C-alpha cells in the first residue's frame, strides 16, 4: 500500500531528528563566541540589540559601544537606558559622510575603542556589542591588528558581537559565527523615510 503524506512526513521528520540530535550531542563546549553581523541588508544592529535583551534577561553584564551614530533618538537606547547590568556608550558622531572630517572621526574612533578595550579585558563582562565597528576598520581609523588581538585575547567566556557592512576577511576568519544580511529590498528606496520602531 502506498505511503500516505502523513506517513512520509513522519519518516522525514524522524530522519531529521536523528541528524539534529546527533549535531546537538556533538556540540558540548561552553565558551564565549565572536559574532559578526554584516552585509548590506537591514537587520544587523537590531539583531545585536536583540542579543542584549537576551543576555540581560539572563542577568548577564552587557556593554554596548556604538561607534557610528546616525541619530540620537533610537528606541533601543531609550528602552535599555538605566537597565541594571548594562552600559550603553555612543562613541561616534554620525555617519562618516556627514562629518567629512577624517582626522576628527579617527580621533573619536580611537577614544571609543580605548573604552571598549577596557570591557574586552574584563572577565566580569559577559557580552560586548561593538556596533558599526567594521567602518572603523574599513576606513583605517583603528589599527586592525590591535583590534583583532584584543578580540582574540578577551576572557574565554565573553561573547562579542560586531556589526557593520563590509566586514574584513580577517575579522570573519576570527569570528565563530558570521551572518551576512542580504539586501533584497528596502522601503527607503520606495521613498519611505526611517520609521520609529522599525529603523530607529
CB closer to Mg ion out of 41 and 85: 41
Answer yes or no whether residue 75 interacts with ligand ATP by CB under 6 A. no
> In whole angstroms, how close is the CB of 111 to ligand ATP at the nearest point?
21
CB closer to ligand ATP out of 55 and 133: 133
Using DSSP's 3-state secondary structure scheme, residue 37 falls into strand
Q: In what order do the strands lie in the sheet with 62-66?
A: 86-90, 62-66, 127-131, 159-163, 34-38, 177-180
CB closer to ligand ATP out of 1 and 184: 184
Answer yes or no whether residue 183 interacts with ligand ATP by CB under 6 A. yes
Tell me which residues in 137-166 interact with ligand ATP (CB under 6 A).
Answer: 163, 165
Answer yes or no whether residue 96 interacts with Mg ion by CB under 5 A. no
Among 35, 36, 38, 44, binds ligand ATP (CB under 6 A): 44
Answer yes or no whether residue 45 interacts with Mg ion by CB under 5 A. yes
Within 10 Å of residue 136's Cβ, how many Cβ atoms? Answer: 26
Answer yes or no whether residue 192 interacts with ligand ATP by CB under 6 A. no
Cα(first)–Cα(last) distance of the chain, in Å?
Answer: 58
DSSP conformational letter for 190: G
| Cell numbers found for residue 153 | 585575547
Angstrom distance (rounded) from CA 30 to CA 44: 24
> In whole angstroms, how close is the CB of 66 to Mg ion at the nearest point?
9
How many helices (H) and strands (E) are present in the chain, helices listed first? 8, 6
CB closer to ligand ATP out of 110 and 200: 200
172 binds, among ligand ATP, Mg ion, none (CB under 5 to 8 A by kind): none
Angstrom distance (rounded) from CA 150 to CA 99: 28
Answer yes or no whether residue 66 interacts with Mg ion by CB under 5 A. no
Q: Write the DSSP assignment of 54-109 as a string of letters.
A: HHHHTT--EEEEESS-S-S--HHHHHHTT-TTEEEEE---S-HHHH--HHHHHHHH
> In whole angstroms, how close is the CB of 65 to ligand ATP at the nearest point?
14
Q: Using CB under 6 A, list all residues that contact ligand ATP.
A: 40-46, 163, 165, 181, 183, 186, 188, 194, 199-200
Q: Using CB under 5 A, list all residues that contact Mg ion.
A: 44-45
Amino acid at each position: 500500500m502506498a505511503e500516505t503524506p502523513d506517513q512520509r512526513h513522519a519518516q522525514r521528520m524522524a530522519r531529521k531528528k536523528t541528524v539534529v540530535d546527533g549535531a546537538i550531542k556533538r556540540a558540548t563546549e561552553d565558551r564565549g563566541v565572536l559574532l559578526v553581523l554584516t552585509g548590506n541588508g537591514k537587520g544587523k544592529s537590531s539583531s545585536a540589540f536583540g542579543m542584549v535583551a537576551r543576555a540581560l534577561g539572563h542577568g548577564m553584564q552587557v556593554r554596548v559601544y556604538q561607534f557610528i551614530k546616525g541619530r540620537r533618538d533610537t528606541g533601543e537606547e531609550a528602552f535599555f537606558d538605566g537597565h541594571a547590568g548594562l552600559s550603553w556608550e555612543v562613541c561616534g558622531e554620525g555617519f562618516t559622510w556627514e562629518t567629512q572630517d577624517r582626522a576628527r572621526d579617527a580621533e573619536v574612533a580611537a577614544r571609543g575603542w580605548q573604552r571598549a578595550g577596557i570591557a574586552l579585558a574584563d572577565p566580569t563582562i559577559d557580552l560586548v556589542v561593538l556596533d558599526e565597528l567594521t567602518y572603523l576598520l574599513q576606513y583605517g581609523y583603528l589599527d586592525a591588528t590591535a583590534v583583532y588581538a584584543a578580540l582574540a585575547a578577551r576572557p574565554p567566556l565573553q561573547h562579542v558581537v560586531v556589526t557593520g557592512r563590509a566586514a574584513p576577511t580577517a575579522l570573519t576568519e576570527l569570528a565563530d559565527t558570521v551572518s551576512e544580511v542580504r539586501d533584497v529590498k528596502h522601503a527607503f528606496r520606495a521613498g519611505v523615510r526611517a520609521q520609529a520602531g522599525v529603523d530607529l
